[in-house]
Amino acid sequence: MPSSDDNTAAGEDAAATTEVEAADGAEATEGAEAAEGKRAGSGEQTLLEQLGGLSGLIFSTLPVLVFVPVNSFAGLTAAVWSAMGVAAAILVWRLVRRSPVQPAISGFIGVGVCALIAYRMGEAKGFFLFGIYTSLVYAGVFVVSMVVRWPLVGVIWGALNGHGTSWRADRPVVRLYDLATSAWVVVFGARYLVQSQLYDSDHTGWLAVARISMGWPLTAVALAVTVWAVRRAGHLPESKAKSAGRHAAESA
């Protein structure tokens, strides 16, 4: 028959085991919550990731940096193939590093279209024509989205992060997304107005300067306005919102 000392020791061992299991469970829960928070936090960068990240925005300028000087020294044909070669090298580089390749594929196709237009026109400035009119189309689409009360920034953000379109019933939120959408309208509109004037006046070198200086720097400004609007609207990514709701329920 076990003694009282044995019973006490067994009880202490059981209590210690329970405490260890509880600590392990708490650590596992905290680890899972931290990982979930990390994933949710990364969702706030979705728009930038769709553009290939900061490196993708910078890489997008390299074909232009190559095209203009090669055209000056070696002619249009060499410039076209050089720009295509740089775009292909960026795609291969992303494949080797296992980075997201969709932006690089889109960039390669875009450079190919620009190069084809320049080659068919027989003029170096034709390389920039596709981008000029693309900016005009984008500006028009963003403007129309605000006119019909479906600001495109809100639509894209809701689709990417699981918020749907219920935000359209909240007028202050719609105004925030209108403001963010307006920022993109200004960016695309400015690109079209400036670059179309340089195109019409045959300033190919300045076209390249405008293309680069009005590229990712202005995109970064528009993204900053977008992130500000999303935060003011309280539209965190869906996974983060669910985590916050679960914590509130547990606290209650």
- 122 φ, ψ to 5°? 75, 20
| Residue 55 banded pLDDT, cuts 50, 70, 90 | low
Least confident residue range of 44-48, 148-152, 204-208, 236-240: 44-48
Contact 142, 192 (CB under 8 A): no
pTM of this prediction exceeds 0.85: no
What does the block give as tokens for 99?
């980075």
The pLDDT of residue 98? 80
Instruction: For Cα atoms 112, 95, 162, give the angle at the middle one, nearest 5 degrees.
Output: 90
Q: What is the CA radius of gyration of the chain?
A: 27
Q: What share of the chain is helix, strand, coil (3-state, %, to 5)?
A: 85, 0, 15
Contact 229, 183 (CB under 8 A): no
Instruction: Please state, in angstroms and rounded to a whole number, the distance separating the CA atoms of residues 71 and 77.
Output: 8
Which of 236, 216, 218 lies closest to 157 in space, CA to CA? Answer: 236
The pLDDT of residue 23? 47
Please give the DSSP secondary-structure letter assigned to residue 215. Answer: S
Q: Which tens digits make up the pLDDT trace of 109-155?
A: 999 999 999 999 999 999 999 999 999 999 999 999 999 999 999 99
Q: Quick check: 190 pLDDT over 50?
A: yes
Q: Which residues contact 196 (CB under 8 A, 6 or more apart)?
A: 132, 136
Contact 215, 61 (CB under 8 A): yes
Domain ranges of the chain: 49-122, 128-245
pLDDT (mean) for 168-193:
95
Contact 76, 119 (CB under 8 A): yes
Q: Which residues contact 71 (CB under 8 A, 6 or more apart)?
A: 78, 79, 124, 204
Cα–Cα distances in angstroms (integers) from residue 93 to residues 53, 54, 55, 171, in the given order: 15, 15, 12, 45
Q: Which residues contact 109 (CB under 8 A, 6 or more apart)?
A: none
Q: Which tens digits make up the pLDDT trace of 61-82?
A: 889 989 989 998 899 999 999 9
CA atoms within 13 A on the CB side of 144: 6
